[in-house]
Amino acid sequence: MSRPKSYDRQEAVERACQAFWAHGYTALGVRALEQMTGLNKFAIRTEFSGKEGLYLEALRLYAERAAQFAVEPLKAGGLDQVEEFFQGLVGGSSPMSSRFGCLMVNTGIENAELKSPALEEVSTVYWSMLYRAFEAALQTGREDGALKRDLDLAEAAQGLVTAVMGIHTMNRVSGRDDGGAALVGLIRDLLASWRT
């Protein structure tokens, strides 16, 4: 008969998400993860198939929260929602604003060296989701007559995704949740230039 779990799985994944977000994947050893999550080494190995498996669960949780709080409203809106999305990346008005930057951006940077296909796949799904949300919001702006007709929506959406990465990187580098505020200002000006 197996022993009952001494931890709440969802709570452990949430703690792992915060730990990886703050410290990164490579820097966190299993012992530190045990202390920060309440999991023991055996649980990390058997419940999550090891450290990378726990990290993947944390990334999925992060992506779900981002979709719920930021991406879904963006996808359902227009240019005003694009501007609100960017403003939410700095200054703490959104769960996506953090002095640690973005867990997905941080993962991409670390994975440039790690070269984990599993981490690459989760990151790609996340950035594709954001790209599609920007494209949908821009299309809504065009249909509403708020967006210039000659704007290349695919190119604009990709540029906005890249700007999100830069803003989060500046937040992380500065150690402040508003480190990317100057870039947000530039994006607001850019959005204004796209309006009819």
The b/e string for 108-124 (b: 16+ C-beta within 10 A; e otherwise) is bebbeeeebeebeebbe
Mean pLDDT of 185-193: 98
CATH code for position 140: 1.10.357.10
- pLDDT value, residue 1: 45
Mean pLDDT of 179-183: 97
Kindly state the percentage of the chain with pLDDT values over 70. 96
51: in domain? no
126: in domain? yes
- pLDDT value, residue 91: 82
Backbone angles phi, psi at 12, to 5 degrees: -65, -40
Torsion angle in degrees (nearest 10) through CA of 105, 163, 91, 146 = -140
- How buried is residue 67: exposed, middle or buried, by Cβ count under 10 Å (0-12/13-18/19+)? middle
Confidence of residue 2 (pLDDT cuts 50, 70, 90): low
35: in domain? no
Count of CB atoms situated within 10 Å of the CB of 138: 24
pLDDT tens digits for 84-122? 999 999 987 677 789 999 999 999 999 999 999 999 999
Mean pLDDT of 128-156: 97
Amino acid residing at 195: R
- How buried is residue 37: exposed, middle or buried, by Cβ count under 10 Å (0-12/13-18/19+)? buried
182: in domain? yes
Confidence of residue 4 (pLDDT cuts 50, 70, 90): low
32: in domain? no
Mean pLDDT of 163-179: 97
Say whether 106 sits in a helix, a strand or coil: helix
6: in domain? no
The structural domain count of the chain equals 1
- pLDDT value, residue 25: 97
21: in domain? no
Domain limits at 179? 60-194
| 41 Cβ neighbours under 8 A, 6+ residues apart | 30, 31, 34
39: in domain? no
Contact status, residue 83 vs residue 191, Cβ threshold 8 Å:
yes
